[in-house]
């Protein structure tokens, strides 16, 4: 049985962004802090640290979860993807490109969580309606209130896919 | 905020988990962590040890029996929401699951965790009460089952004794049609008020009825007088209006920062009217 006292680190083996990683953490460390502090993945953001804001959303076994509401020790045996897994070298993922085109980034604090949420949405439903995108995004709080352009970007990517045609039917909202 | 320090164990069998809970006084089961971990971050709870139920395979299974279905405590909201068996046998639960949090929370939050936590604003306690579920509890002394009507004892208070684990809920199949309605500030938030209605209509009249509210009081409440009134009647608009007002009339409603008792009661009436109207018109 995996077990540790409060001042004792527990070994964890997980596939993080396609690579097997071994690390050890105290039970009290959240997965969000584990990814940031132990693995240097600073793309993982924390806002509220109690599940409400969605900033820390990452993919665990391809499903979106709040990394502030999971323990680092619970990552053992899991496959984890953070925003760092999206770009290939210096070329952005088409979804990231769509965000850039539509000025959906603004301050960018919520963006990593929103990318994880929208990736999971698009995997399940490649052609969402604007309403469906809005409903899913209601779980991610953007304090720049930029939902309009974020929805535009996700719709553009959904409609034009990998091709990433600039603008698309709707055109960027200025 | 960061979690306070705690020790951690992840047993692979139910017996081990029960031993850990009994041998360590200040221990708590950890299911999906979607309520317990926020409470720890906010320093509302600070258990000395968390016993993670995540590796106990038998708690992650649903089982269809001849006249009922057994839903495992550790089955996630997301799995239940996608389950064809649940959609077929318990449409009330499928409808209610759409209102439970957001996808990222549903992917880890569990059925049993939601019931053991017993937040007055949570959907699963209402569903299990409306469907007459039996709560299955396992402790050192063996297994016992508690009907939903006796299980929920108040906000965050249930019949679970310390050292016991909720293993699942056995829910009998129902021959009624069901409708669920909820009002929340934002999709995915805890409910301000909810209504569950079940009816069996034969030859145009109501033969069986079950009317319940959630989030109005500190636990799910049943409107039995209104249920009795419905029997033998047609679900016409005037009957629906009357029975909805009657159902909400006797309830002691709670006030909190989200809504006053008066507002909750007026919502209760409106939600019950909507649920019954949907059942009457077959608009599922
Ligand atoms: C942002 C956000 C929004 C949410 N919105 C909603 C909502 O709209 N509706 C809703 O219903 N819920 C909502 N929730 C709560 C969510 O559904 C939780 O997952 C659920 O209430 C608790 O389940 P859990 O598996 O996460 O349990 P945990 O948080 O792990 O545990 C909760 C409590 O139950 C105990 N416990 C857990 N499992 C067992 C067991 N098998 N036996 C005995 N004791 C046990 C724990 O010790 C703890 O005290 C929300 C949560 C968040 C973070
Ligand atoms: S930091 Fe995890 S949801 Fe806000
Ligand atoms: S872009 Fe600033 S918080 Fe969302």
Q: How far is the CA of A57 from the centre of ligand 2 (A)?
A: 7
pLDDT digits 0-9 by tens, B149-192: 999 999 999 999 999 999 999 999 999 999 999 999 888 889 99
Q: How far is B211 from chain A (nearest CA, A)?
A: 29
Q: How confident is the model at residue A161 (pLDDT cuts 50, 70, 90)?
A: confident
Q: What DSSP string describes A30-41?
A: BHHHIIIIIT--
Residues A30-55: what's their mean pLDDT?
97
The b-or-e profile of B245-255 (16+ CB within 10 A means b, else e) is bbbbeebebbe
Q: Which of A4, A68, A136 sits opposite B8 (nearest CB)?
A: A4
Q: Please indicate whether residue A147, judged by its CB atom, sits closer than 6 Å to ligand 3.
A: no
The b-or-e profile of B90-103 (16+ CB within 10 A means b, else e) is bbbbbbbbebbbbb
Between β-strands B49-52 and B152-154, what pairing exists: parallel, antiparallel or unpaired? unpaired
Q: Is the pLDDT of residue B72 over 90?
A: yes
Q: Is the pLDDT of residue A118 over 60?
A: yes
Looking at residue B282, what is its pLDDT?
83
Is residue B41 within 8 A of residue B3, CB to CB? The reply is: yes
Q: What percent of chain B has pLDDT over 90?
A: 96
Residues A64-89: what's their mean pLDDT?
97
Round to whole Å and give the CA distance between B252 and A116. 43
How many CA atoms lie less than 13 Å away from B168 in the CB half-sphere? 20
Report CB contact under 8 Å: B6, A27: yes
Residues A69-74: what's their mean pLDDT?
98
Nearest to B145 by CA among B159, B133, B153, B134: B134
**Chain B residues whose beta carbon lies within 8 Å of the beta carbon of residue A32:** none
Is residue A99 within 8 A of residue A150, CB to CB? The reply is: yes
pTM for the full predicted model? 0.95
Q: What pairs with residue B64 in β-bridges?
A: B69
Dihedral pair phi/psi, residue B185, rounded to 5°: -60, -40
Looking at residue A162, what is its pLDDT?
57
Looking at residue A168, what is its pLDDT?
41
Q: Which residues contact B189 (CB under 8 A, 6 or more apart)?
A: none
């Amino acid at each position: 049985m995996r077990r540790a006292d409060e001042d004792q680190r527990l070994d964890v083996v997980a596939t993080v962004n396609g690579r097997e990683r071994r690390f050890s953490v105290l039970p009290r460390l959240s997965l969000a802090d584990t990814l940031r502090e132990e693995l240097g993945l600073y793309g993982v953001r924390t806002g509220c640290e109690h599940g409400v804001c969605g900033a820390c959303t990452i993919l665990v076994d391809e499903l979106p979860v709040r990394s502030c509401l999971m323990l680092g020790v619970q990552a053992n045996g899991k496959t984890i993807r953070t925003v760092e897994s999206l770009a290939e070298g210096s070329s952005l993922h088409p979804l990231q490109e769509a965000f850039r085109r539509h000025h959906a980034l603004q301050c960018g604090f919520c963006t990593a969580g929103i990318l994880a949420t929208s990736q999971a949405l698009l995997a399940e439903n490649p052609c969402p309606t604007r309403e469906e995108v809005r409903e899913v995004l209601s779980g991610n709080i953007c304090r720049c209130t930029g939902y309009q352009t974020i929805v535009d970007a996700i719709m553009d990517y959904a409609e034009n896919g990998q091709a990433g045609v600039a603008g698309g039917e709707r055109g960027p909202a200025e | 905020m960061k979690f306070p320090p705690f020790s951690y164990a992840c047993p692979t069998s139910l017996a081990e988990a029960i031993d850990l809970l009994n041998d360590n006084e200040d221990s708590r089961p950890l299911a999906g962590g979607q309520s317990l971990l926020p409470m720890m971050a906010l320093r509302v709870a600070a258990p000395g040890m968390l016993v993670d139920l995540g590796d106990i395979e038998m708690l992650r299974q649903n089982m269809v029996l001849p006249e009922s279905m057994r839903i495992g405590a550790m089955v996630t909201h997301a799995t239940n929401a996608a389950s064809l068996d649940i959609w077929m046998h318990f449409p009330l639960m499928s409808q209610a699951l759409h209102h439970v949090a957001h996808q990222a929370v549903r992917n880890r939050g569990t059925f049993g965790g939601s019931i053991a936590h017993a937040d007055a604003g949570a959907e699963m306690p209402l569903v299990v009460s409306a469907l007459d579920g039996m709560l299955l509890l396992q402790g050192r002394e063996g297994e016992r089952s508690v009907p939903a009507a006796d299980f929920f004892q108040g906000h965050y208070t249930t019949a679970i004794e310390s050292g016991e684990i909720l293993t699942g809920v056995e829910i009998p199949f129902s021959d009624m049609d069901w409708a669920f309605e909820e009002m929340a500030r934002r999709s995915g938030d805890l409910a301000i008020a909810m209504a569950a209605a079940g009816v069996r209509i034969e030859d145009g009249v109501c033969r069986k009825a079950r009317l319940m509210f959630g989030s109005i009081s500190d636990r799910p409440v049943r409107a039995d007088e209104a249920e009795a009134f419905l029997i033998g009647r047609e679900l016409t608009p005037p009957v629906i209006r009357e029975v909805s007002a009657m159902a909400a009339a006797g309830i002691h409603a709670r006030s909190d920062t989200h809504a006053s008792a008066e507002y909750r009661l007026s919502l209760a009436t409106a939600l019950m009217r909507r649920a019954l109207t949907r059942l009457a018109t077959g608009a599922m």
